[in-house]
């Protein structure tokens, strides 16, 4: 339609994902192509069965579950202190935020207050982890759109090089580059070493500069713009209906950010500017993540200037399996992870109070994957890969 560009707010006609394939055109020669669990581009082990008419996808059926490890069942026999290192591995790209979500649920059930310094540090770590996670998302999207051997790989290397600076800082703080086990019920386990704040400020400023380079290399490039403009438009009503709230929802006009609208920890003391778009295509999701990275850098830099003094944990250190006892309670806590709202629903009281009766995790990537049968039909494979890349699913948290 000349002159009218479809976007997330206008009524975009989406194909029916539940259509029975026999009802499709009987003269068409349909082919089943399996974008199988081993595939260099899908983020993790994830299978999508594509039914194609020539080069155009007619129906897409997704089969998650290849990475199911029974985490929630495992929680029923673990104590509260043991859960944190296990839950690190759900959304394995942003472990700080996973730990924060789970420990906030425990603290809410125990009704224990976290000291101010610990809350401040948790916020800084969450923002730095958000930067690191978005760098991964930006890099892997360009890798999908460009080449694994080729232009995409260069850009991917640049984002990972910058992410290494953050990971080095985390190593100085906790001892592990990745999967830290540094949050605990009541606060933190590791305190900021001497000089860490100064080094962190330097590193984050460097990443900010490098993002300018990234902009010029990728976002301003018309080939990249051609690949992702107008591809995979997600209408706002579908995003709301499927429960998408993170960068994907914000790219489609859902102006929701838990850091601003339901602030926890120290987010009520700082101003969080939330980027939104209304176009809802891959470029919008990419740009929302890019702008969120800038915003998180700004927040972390501002907070690193004035870390308050005090203890970092309001309970004594865990020194046995029965250290943390929660008699009963039922809480739900939602935090803003780089992919959306990461929720933890805890029913306490199992194992004699030492562990949860049921711990359910609401993974934002699971909701992201559920748009695939809606978005993929009508595109060809190149666009399908671009859409999957822009949704940035992490299979660890989809399957748990």
Partner 1 sequence: MDTIAAIWDTIFTNPWLHGLFFGIVIATVALTLVAWSIWFERKLAGRMQNRVGPVFVGPAGLLQPLADALKLMRKDFVVPREADKALFILSPVLLMFFALASLAVIPFGPDTVIADLDLGVLWVLAFAGLMLFPLWMAGWTSNNKYALFAGMRAVAQGISYEVPMLLMALVPVIYAGSFNLQDIVRYQADHSWFIVWPPGPGIVAFVIFFIASLAEGNRIPFDIPEAESELIAGVSVEYAGMSYGLFPFTEYLHSMIASAMASVLFLGGWSGPVFPGIHWMLLKTAILFTVILWMRWTLVRFRSDQLMRACWRWLVPISVVVVCAAAVLRYFLLAGGAP
Partner 2 sequence: MKYIYRSFLSMWVTFRNIFRKPVTDLQFPRTRRERADRYRTSFALVHDEHGEEACIACKKCQMICPSDIITVVAGKKAESPRTGKSRGYLDDFTLDMNACIFCELCVQVCPTDAILMTRNAPRPEFSREDLFLTREKLFANEPMVTWATATKLAEMQDPDRGQDKPASAGEESTEAEAS
Task: Record the tokens describing residue 97, joined without a space.
Answer: 């935020």
Distance (Å, whole) CA 323 – CA 342: 26
Quick check: 216 binds partner 1 (CB under 8 A)?
no
Contact (Cβ atoms closer than 8 angstroms) between residue 219 and residue 285: no
Stretch that binds partner 1, among 69-77, 150-158, 173-181, 331-339 (CB under 8 A): 150-158
> Binds 378, which of partner 2, partner 1, none (CB < 5 to 8 A, cut-off by type)?
none
Distance (Å, whole) CA 148 – CA 223: 16
Quick check: 184 binds partner 2 (CB under 8 A)?
yes
Long-range Cβ contact pairs of 18-26 (< 8 A, separation 24 or more):
18/373, 19/59, 21/51, 21/58, 21/59, 24/53, 24/58, 24/59, 25/53
Stretch that binds partner 2, among 48-56, 175-183, 275-283, 370-378 (CB under 8 A): 175-183
Q: Which of 44, 64, 139, 152 touches partner 1 by CB under 8 A?
A: 152
Q: Which of 217, 240, 301, 307 touches partner 1 by CB under 8 A?
A: 217
Angle at 322 between CA 321 and CA 325, to 5 degrees: 135
> Binds 381, which of partner 2, partner 1, none (CB < 5 to 8 A, cut-off by type)?
partner 1
CB closer to partner 2, 99 vs 127: 99
- Provide the 3-class DSSP secondary structure of residue 184: strand
Task: Record the tokens describing residue 388, joined without a space.
Answer: 């999957």
Q: Which of 19, 220, 223, 317 touches partner 1 by CB under 8 A?
A: 223
Distance (Å, whole) CA 73 – CA 50: 32
Contact (Cβ atoms closer than 8 angstroms) between residue 155 and residue 217: yes
Q: Which of 24, 39, 92, 154 touches partner 2 by CB under 8 A?
A: 154
> Binds 84, which of partner 1, partner 2, none (CB < 5 to 8 A, cut-off by type)?
partner 2
The runs of H, that is alpha helices, within 111-218 are 116-145, 151-174, 196-214
Q: For the window 309-328, what string marks contact with partner 2 as x by the rule CB under 8 A? A: xxxxxxxxxxxxx-------
> Which of 62, 107, 99 is closest to 82 using CA atoms?
99
φ and ψ of 235, to 5 deg: -70, 155
Stretch that binds partner 2, among 6-14, 79-87, 342-350, 362-370 (CB under 8 A): 79-87
Q: Residue numbers of the site for partner 2 (CB under 8 A)?
A: 78-79, 81-86, 115, 117, 154, 158, 161, 164, 168, 171-176, 179, 181, 184, 186-197, 213, 216-218, 220-223, 307-321
Binding site for partner 1 (CB under 8 A): 31, 33, 39-41, 55, 142-155, 157-158, 161, 217-218, 221, 223-224, 226-227, 380-383, 385
């Amino acid at each position: 339609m000349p002159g009218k560009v479809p976007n997330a707010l206008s009524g975009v006609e989406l194909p029916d994902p539940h259509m029975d394939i026999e009802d499709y055109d009987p003269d068409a020669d349909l082919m089943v192509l399996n974008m199988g669990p081993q595939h260099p581009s899908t983020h993790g082990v994830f299978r999508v069965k594509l039914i194609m008419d020539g080069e155009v996808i007619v129906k897409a059926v997704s089969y998650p579950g290849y990475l199911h490890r029974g985490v929630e069942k495992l929680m029923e026999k673990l104590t509260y202190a043991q859960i944190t290192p296990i839950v690190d591995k759900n959304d394995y790209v942003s472990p700080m935020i996973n730990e924060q979500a789970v420990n906030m649920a425990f603290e809410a059930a125990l009704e224990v207050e976290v000291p101010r310094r610990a809350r401040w540090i948790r916020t800084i770590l969450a923002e730095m982890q958000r930067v690191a996670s978005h760098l991964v998302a930006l890099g892997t999207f360009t890798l999908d759109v460009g080449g694994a051997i080729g232009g995409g790989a260069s850009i991917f290397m640049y984002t990972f090089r910058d992410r290494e600076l953050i990971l080095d800082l985390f190593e100085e703080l906790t001892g592990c580059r990745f999967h830290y086990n540094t949050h605990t019920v009541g606060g933190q386990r590791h305190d900021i070493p001497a000089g860490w704040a100064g080094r962190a400020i330097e590193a984050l400023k460097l990443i900010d500069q490098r993002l300018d380079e990234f902009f010029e290399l990728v976002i301003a490039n018309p080939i990249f713009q051609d690949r992702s403009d107008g591809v995979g438009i997600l209408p706002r009503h579908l995003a709301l209906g499927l429960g998408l709230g993170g960068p994907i929802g914000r790219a489609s006009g859902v102006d929701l950010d838990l850091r601003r609208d339901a602030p926890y920890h120290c987010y009520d003391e700082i101003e969080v500017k939330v980027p939104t778009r209304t176009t809802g295509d891959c470029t919008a999701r990419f740009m929302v993540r890019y702008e969120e990275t800038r915003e998180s850098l700004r927040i972390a830099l501002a907070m690193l200037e004035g870390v308050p003094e005090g203890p970092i944990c309001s309970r004594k250190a865990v020194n046995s399996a029965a250290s943390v006892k929660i008699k009963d309670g039922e809480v739900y806590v939602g935090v803003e992870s780089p992919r959306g709202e990461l929720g933890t629903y805890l029913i306490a009281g199992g194992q004699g109070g030492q562990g949860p009766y049921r711990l359910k995790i609401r993974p934002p990537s699971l909701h992201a994957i559920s748009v695939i049968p809606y978005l993929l039909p009508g595109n060809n494979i190149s666009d399908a890969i671009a859409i999957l890349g822009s949704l940035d699913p992490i299979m660890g948290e989809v399957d748990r």
